[in-house]
Amino acid sequence: MGLSQDKLGLSQDKTGLLQDKIVLVNGGSQGIGAGIVRAAAREGATVAFTGRRPDAGESLAGELAAQGASAAFLRADLADPAQARGSVEQVVAAHGRIDCLVNSAGLTSRGTLLDTTPELFDAHVAINLRAPFFAMQAAVADMVARKAPGTIVNIISNCAHGGYPFLAPYSAAKAGLAGLTRNAAHAHRWDRVRVNGLNLGWTDTEGEDAIQRAFHGAGDDWREEAARAQPMGKLGQVDEIADFVVLLLSDRSGVVTGSVIDWDQIVLGGLG
């Protein structure tokens, strides 16, 4: 069954925050990335996106096209630095430029300090840190060469602050991405390239459902149980995150750069 217009978000009020912008969302075929693709398309952007599942990617591109949006799925193995750079290069070749980049691809497989293998560690670094690095490298190179402003948003995690014991390699890589976000923002602020990030907390996605079932023995009611245990009575919602990312990509976020914002219900330093 195809996604409804309401599901795609294209029936919501449009403000044109990204009108005529060329946007690439790496990791955009499902979950948070797909929500960002939908929101960017709704706000007038021409969107390209990559993902690990060609079937999901082509399906999303088709659904968006049917609603009158401009969206294209690009096949890319982001663990390969050449393909991470190539995702940007394909967009520039097709449209002459890139205005906005979102790094949303993520690997969340479990591993502790004691049981993580070098292979698992390298896999996390490849997707969660190295891929964003080289995609950013290519995007900023285009922006600087054209002497044009641009925006980048990195989807990080509250695990960048330390994380759960069973997310050791994930936390290490996401902490690196938080540092990279600030470094790139500082390095290219005079180029008018703004770079920001979101440290996401527990979010309701298809991928999280699979993780909960595979690694934590969760049943069909895990979402309801999890929501009841949260201060706001719900998990993080993809559409809310996507709208915030669009704001950060747009000119309406002003001069904000180098900010890594905690999108979570946990208040660091709070007690009780």
Residue numbers annotated as active site: 170
Closest CA to 211 of 123, 106, 57: 106
Q: Which tokens hold the place of 63? A: 């659904």
Query: In the 8-state DSSP scheme, what is residue 167?
Result: B
- The four Cα atoms 206, 211, 213, 214 give a dihedral, to 10 degrees, of 130
Of 159, 163, 168, the C-alpha closest to 113 is: 168
Please report how the helices 54-66 and 31-42 are oriented relative to each other, as an axis angle in degrees rounded to 10. 20
34-50: burial string, b at 16+ Cβ within 10 Å, e else: bbbbbbbbbbbbbbbbb
In terms of Cβ atoms closer than 10 Å to its own Cβ (0-12, 13-18, 19+), residue 204 is middle
